[in-house]
Amino acid sequence: MTKKVAILISGGGSNMEALVHSMTGDHPARPVLVLSNDPAAGGLAKAAGLGVPTAVVDHRAYAKDRPAFEAALHAVLLDARPDIICLAGFMRILGADFIGQWEGRILNIHPSLLPKYRGLHTHARALQAGDAHHGCTVHDVTAALDDGPVLGQAVMPVLPGDTPDTLAARLLPLEHALYPAVLRRFAAGDRRPVMLGG
Ligand code: GRF
């Protein structure tokens, strides 16, 4: 049976676009919702243009009440009844209670070769460490930040003269290749990691 996918974004939504574009033909999943915590997220208009229903749960309306924000997110998701939730540049930390309600069904893309560099500023941290390689990871989301079983990684070399910006720019197309590849496999019930590049 076709799997329903909700995609959570906070910004430009280029990973969301790559995921939506991939879900055609014999793909085992289809997008049912793009949800943002920021009404100004550029990805919302892109999703609407692609014919995907959109919703906003503005985290600022909940001040510091994360449980209330997550309850609102959960309610919107319950309406859409996704089988899989893809976090795609979603910049809010989700708590254990929320994740527990969707356990094993939430994927995230993170711009580092996890377990290296959880959290922010991953490109700068890879450069600072003098790493020869950098990359991105799609993982199964658990209650620990940027952790959980790895479902795929794409690896690229760090080049002389690289800056955080050049690394980010070179990595983004790899993210756009990796996330759809992992989603396709995951939606088909196959959790073997996808490995790209090297
Ligand atoms: C990506 O680099 C993603 O890995 C990171 O935020 C960026 C999102 O970009 N977490 P976009 O919104 O998908 O264009």
pLDDT tens for each residue of 133-153: 999 999 999 988 888 899 999
**Among candidate residues 137, 132, 144, the one with its CA nearest the CA of residue 95:** 144
> 111 alpha carbon to ligand 1 midpoint, in Å?
8
CA 44 – CA 27 distance, rounded (Å)? 23
Report CA(20)–ligand 1 centroid distance (Å). 15
Of all residues in the chain, the percent with pLDDT exceeding 90 is 94
What are the tokens at 130? 């003098």
pTM confidence score: 0.96
Of 65, 70, 38, 69, nearest to 54 by C-alpha is: 38
Ligand 1 site, CB within 6 A: 9, 11-16, 43, 88-89, 109-111, 175
156 has pLDDT over 70: yes
Span 165-173, average pLDDT: 98
Catalytic residue among 110, 123, 139, 176: 110
Residues 6+ apart with CB under 8 A from 149: 139, 140, 191
Per-residue pLDDT at 197 exceeds 90: no
Q: Judge whether 171 and 124 are in contact, CB under 8 Å.
A: no
Q: Is 27 a catalytic residue?
A: no
Mean pLDDT of 1-22: 97
Indicate if the pLDDT at residue 103 is higher than 70.
yes
pLDDT of residue 198: 62
- Helices (H), ranges, the chain: 14-22, 42-49, 66-80, 96-101, 122-128, 164-187
> Which residue, 51, 53, 50, 72, is CA-closest to 61?
72
